[in-house]
Amino acid sequence: MRARELGLPLIGGTGPDNAITDVPGVAVGYTTLIEGDSVRTGVTAVLPRPRAEVQLPCAAGWHALNGNGEMTGTAWLSETGLLRLPVLITNTHAVGPVHRGVIDWTVRAHPAVAAEWMLPVVAETYDGYLNDINGPWVRPEHAVAAIEAAAPGAVAEGSVGGGTGMICYGFKGGSGTASRLVPYGETVYTVGVFVQANFGARHELTVCGVPVGTRLPADEQRTNLPPGAGSVIAVVATDAPLLPGQCTALARRVPLGLARTGTTGSIFSGDIFLAFSTANKGSFGTGMPTGEPTYEQLHAISWNRIDPFHTAVVQAVEEAVLNALVAGRTMTGRAGHRVPGIPIERLVELVTAR
């Protein structure tokens, strides 16, 4: 069951799978690592384009609400407004091997790209309460496997991939996704969101406008980090033709969707967001310059018509977080630490009783 299927009053029309993969060409893949009593982690891959075309740049932008986290490659994103290659998400101490894994995959799959230079985008959130985060569990081959597993269509949620050991509002969190359809003249575009939700204090949790956090059953609370600590990574995708600055504007709207779920943004949470457009394929130069100078040609949504896309981001982010929570199940991990799944029946009762 997902948040919408529970009858929660979410607004906005979705794509067929209500997922980031509703954007044509976008794919998601996971490597999930659950071993023994203390390994609860993994890797998520989001492919902006199909594997054979993932080297073709997309217009892109990023935004950090709070910088207590990591997303590699953002300096080059700021410089050029372009994203190429898969985007990977993992745990805080596994950024290095996952970064290496993207390079290893690209060397095999796209040797011409590897012959130049690569600045992969790898992001993280902290799973050290449930997972032995200092152990060498995530290796480059796990990143390669996540990329190879990436597929369009329905996306698994909750304790999968990089979201395996994550906690959200004191409940089991993890991976979540949602989408919205945006009419634009005679065309309907899709905005899709993927989140790795690992943020928020229990008392903050708000669902569809109802403050439920203080009214849900008390349970074991983690004590190794302050309330609200963790992090959240969001990836926003659209097939609408956008300029890099417009992608950045979409990324800046992610915090508004998060705020609908109650968070006020802890200083101990790394909240970093990426947005890209798959339109204008082939319009951006790739590789080292050869031959005669050329000009780029592309089209874009008018700035004065972009508000419906902002709305779509806000709505989809809210639903993606709720989907991650609803998909979460009670998990026990490192040192016997236990994180409960959100009590779904009580949640629905609180939200629908008003």
Q: How confident is the model over 289-321, as pLDDT tens digits?
A: 677 888 888 899 999 999 999 999 999 999 999
Instruction: Identify whether 302 is a catalytic site residue.
Output: no
Q: Which of 38, 266, 269, 277 is catalytic?
A: 269
Instruction: Identify whether 38 is a catalytic site residue.
Output: no
Instruction: Identify whether 175 is a catalytic site residue.
Output: no
Q: Whose CA is closest to 48, among 26, 74, 68?
A: 26
Rounded average pLDDT over 30-55: 97
Type of residue numbered 53: E
pLDDT digits (tens, 9 = 90+) for 202-220: 999 999 999 999 999 877 6
Report the alpha-carbon distance of residue 243 to residue 235 in Å, rounded.
Answer: 17
pLDDT higher than 70, residue 21: yes
Query: Residue 221's pLDDT band (boundaries 50, 70, 90)?
Result: low
> How many other β-carbons are positioned within 10 Å of the β-carbon of residue 54?
24
Phi and psi at 105, nearest 5°, equal: -65, -45
Rounded average pLDDT over 83-92: 98
Q: Would you say 97 and 137 are in contact if contact means Cβ atoms under 8 Å apart?
A: no
* pLDDT number for residue 166: 98
> How many other β-carbons are positioned within 10 Å of the β-carbon of residue 253?
22
* pLDDT number for residue 142: 99
If you count them, how many residues does the chain have?
354
Report the alpha-carbon distance of residue 140 to residue 144 in Å, rounded.
Answer: 7
**Tokens describing residue 247:** 């992608």
Q: Which of 38, 179, 231, 266 is catalytic?
A: 231
Rounded average pLDDT over 330-352: 96
The pTM of the full predicted model, rounded to 2 decimals, is 0.97
Q: Whose CA is closest to 124, among 22, 262, 230?
A: 230
Report the alpha-carbon distance of residue 48 to residue 57 in Å, rounded.
Answer: 9
Rounded average pLDDT over 159-182: 98
